[in-house]
Amino acid sequence: MGNVAVIGAGMTKFGELWDKGLEDLIAEAGAKAVNDANIDGEDIQAIYGGNMSAGRFIGQEHIGALIADAIGLTPIPSTRVEAACASGGLALREAYLAVKSGTYDVVVAGGVEKMTDVYSEQVTQTLGGAGDQQWEVFNGVTFPSLYAMMARRHMHDYGTTEEQMAAVAVKNHSNGSKNPYAQFPFKVTLEQVMSSSKVAEPLKLLDCSPITDGAAVVILASEKFARKLPQEPIWIIGSAHTTDTLALHDRKSLTSIEATRLAGRQAMKQAGVTPKDIDLAEVHDCFTIAEIMAMEDLGFSKRGEGGKDVESGKFNLNSELSVNTSGGLKSCGHPVGATGIKQAVEVTWQLRGEAGKRQVDDAKVGLTHNVGGSGATAVVHIFSKEVD
């Protein structure tokens, strides 16, 4: 099996995009990625599109065909991929496997979500479907409350503080203020986060990612095809997908996402790297506690010390490890089906040296981490400027 390259990347701005529909978002991100790759549409052989819930958000199903239609790539095969908030990351993995296996030479991996056309109560209900409907949602549990339970347990077991969680938001908004694609491209202070309205204690409004519209696309290619292009490719050197129980109460721990731990370990082993080899990471900070737990599960922090490490500045831009340089889900936004692809776009730009004011110095290896639901799905990819 051959090496797999990222040869093109593009995305829309994230936000409340009232003047754009789902097809508009797909077409914009797809056109940018194709132009970036400097290829013809005729080169593309398949599409994998991440989308969580267009049926509930805009009443549109049959998304695979819609994507191909929107970007003018019929009649090639186009597959919708759904794994809740990890839909984009899993679409990337399916595209990666399709090229890795030798089935195709050039494949589109995209993600899209249009979330703001319904009331927030409907969004909350729809997102609840990523958890256990029978045991959680039916009994009134929301996703903020699930992560609030994780936060409470982490605070109880390890002494993690609300201020340490707030420091995640401060860091990610600082990065997002440098990202023109971000939904909230502005800084926030620790005091602003701490004084924001309560959502599910101890989580406050500024601990939570927003409701977002947006799309992102990367184009993957075989090494043979990629070497023909003038632009240096970025290589995917590790890819892993793992699952855990859907309901939180069935997990081994409330302070760790086992699927993240296993996917991170598998992807790093495949890539032949350790956490110390990674220069930047885009991780799934749907809530601030989620980033702290991700740092521990991926091996960047010792168990129970993720909050302290964020507070110390260890994960600031151009510190020991640059985390969520895009602004993360918190500042850049979280159009659930597109998030995993946006992470790949950001890492691609960083490794090319094209990230502008948020550029990581001498970035060579990057990681993306995309989670579905409260941790039932995790997808981790490792990217590199070089390949053996």
Known catalytic residues? 85, 334
Backbone angles phi, psi at 386, to 5 degrees: -130, 155
Cβ 14 vs Cβ 182: under 8 Å: yes
Nearest to 282 by CA among 259, 233, 315: 315
Residue ranges in 159-257 assigned as alpha helix (H): 162-176, 190-195, 223-226
* Region for 223 from its dihedrals, namely left if φ exceeds 0, alpha if ψ lies in -120 to 50, beta otherwise: alpha
Residue with tokens 């990819």: 381
Which string of b and e fits 100-118 if b means at least 16 CB within 10 Å?
beeebbbbbbbbbbbbbeb
Rounded-to-integer distance, Cα 215 and Cα 10, Å:
9
Q: Is 29 left (phi over 0), alpha (psi -120 to 50) or beta?
A: alpha
Q: How many angstroms from the chain centroid is the CA of residue 353?
A: 20
One-letter amino acid for residue 168 of the chain:
V
Cis ω before 230 (30° cut-off from 0): no
Alpha-carbon span 92 to 344, nearest angstrom: 8
Residue holding tokens 């993720």?
A: 306
What the block records as the tokens of 118 is 């319904």
- Measured CA to CA, the distance from residue 317 to residue 80 in angstroms comes to 34
Residue with tokens 């890492």: 347
CA 58 – CA 53 distance, rounded (Å): 8
